[in-house]
Amino acid sequence: MLPEKDPRKQGEKDPKEDPSVTLFREYLRIKTVQPEPDYDTAVKFLERIASELDLPCQKVEVCPGRVITILTWKGTNPQLRSILLNSHTDVVPVFEEFWHHGPFSAFKDSEGNIFARGAQDMKCVSIQYIEAIRRLKAEGRRFPRTIHMSFVPDEEIGGYKGMQMFVKRPEFATLNVGFALDEGLANPTDTFTVFYGEKCPWWIKVKVEGNPGHGSRFIENTAAEKMHRVITSFLEFREREKQRLKSEKHLTLGDVTSLNLTMLNGGISFNVVPSEMSAAFDIRIPPTVDLKAFEEQVTAWCRAAGEGVTYEFHQKYTDQSVTSTEESDPWWKAFSTTCRDMNMKLKCEIFPAATDSRYIRAAGHPAIGFSPMNRTPVLLHDHNEFLNEQVFLRGIEIYAQIIAALANVPQLQAEA
């Protein structure tokens, strides 16, 4: 890591810098990094913002130390379903030795690139929501629909003590959500990617039992032999999906099932053939796949490997809800028409990983994953994650238009 040269690391403010960028960099410096995120400082930061914007701030502790923070701009017709602008406050760990600048310094180079963990995933979106609302309020705008900004913990470790618990609570029901926005991905081209659904993450651990013995003998039916068959079956499927993605040009990563061997365990000594081994697989399944049939395939692979081969789920998400992108859908029409009016080219995809949107959709609410970052390399979870300040500022303009359009969607038949 190079020595830090940014004077604002010590809290100095650049009078020439856009205040929205200054706020963004301040938020990036809060170390909400897993596995010990500083959530308390983040909540205090958001409470301060709420005070600045003259918005009520609600805090919902879904479990000890895990607080959902909600800022609400009440609509002129609060009986209508609301707009939820969701973002998560936590970020993934870093390997500082690979970073050119301190990952929590929010260093800005001469080209306006802001380097920090969370610059793309997804503290940019959090501040863009806030600054879009600030702009709309300053213009004296009012909208029929209430707008909620939710800031949730633990998304980066599955959301189990965050959004997954929140959607089951009465406080969430009270939000009366009609449509939600959540995170997307950067796009290196001129196009903006929009995600209308997600893959189902399955984490499977396969356990294999076999005959043990001395490492010098050719023992029959060993755990290693059976594990070899298991791994071969899984990875041959992986290769087929990989080739399908390559050969069928219309497909994206969200359209195929990804599979990776992520952990392999077993053995106690060089000269002892182990009686047990285990392998862990991370599988992400698109909503077009029959989940029952896929699990039957997994069962068949394990059965074919021999006796004593079993598997268990460490995660098995099965909701395959997707959000409509038909022009007849009033929410999508408001979103897409506004983007077209700004000459934005959209590409709709299935998200290749998993976000908190899946919990929102599973609760029965349409949700779109969208981060307004085009002409930007995809660097979430990567070393030297950055976002250019001009892309960031353009995103505020984009959100201001989109939020206004969504909050102005006329009363729906279901709301009559």
State phi, psi for 319 to the nearest 5 degrees.
-75, 125
Where do we find the tokens 């022009």?
327
pLDDT at 15: 78
Active site residue 90: yes
User: For 225-374, where are the E strands, in sequence order?
Assistant: 258-266, 272-273, 276-285, 309-316, 346-351, 367-370
Is residue 256 within 8 Å of residue 286, measured between CB atoms?
Answer: yes
Helices (H), 139-222: 163-166, 170-175
Please enumerate in sequence order all residues whose Cβ is within 8 A of that of 265, keeping only pairs 6 or more positions apart, or say none.
Answer: 277, 278, 279
pLDDT at 348: 97
337-376, pLDDT tens digit by residue?
999 999 999 999 999 988 999 999 999 999 999 999 999 9
Helices (H), 29-153: 39-53, 123-138
**Mean pLDDT, the chain, whole residue set:** 96
Q: Return the higher-pLDDT residue of 337 and 5.
A: 337
pLDDT for residue 2 is more than 80 = no
pLDDT for residue 31 is more than 70 = yes
141-166, pLDDT tens digit by residue?
999 999 999 999 999 999 999 999 99
Sheet holding 192-198, edge to edge: 57-63, 66-73, 147-152, 82-88, 177-182, 367-370, 192-198, 346-351
Active site residue 296: no
State phi, psi for 246 to the nearest 5 degrees.
-70, -40
Domains of the chain: 7-184+355-415 (3.40.630.10), 200-316 (3.30.70.360)
pLDDT at 6: 45
Grade residue 25 by pLDDT with cuts at 50, 70 and 90. very high
- Over residues 166-180, the mean pLDDT reads 98
- Over residues 175-183, the mean pLDDT reads 98
pLDDT for residue 13 is more than 80 = no
Sign of CA dihedral 34, 38, 39, 45: negative
Candidates 121, 131, 155, 389; catalytic one: 155
Grade residue 281 by pLDDT with cuts at 50, 70 and 90. very high
34-47, pLDDT tens digit by residue?
999 999 999 999 99
Candidates 90, 121, 198, 255; catalytic one: 90
Angle at 375 between CA 255 and CA 194, to 5 degrees: 35
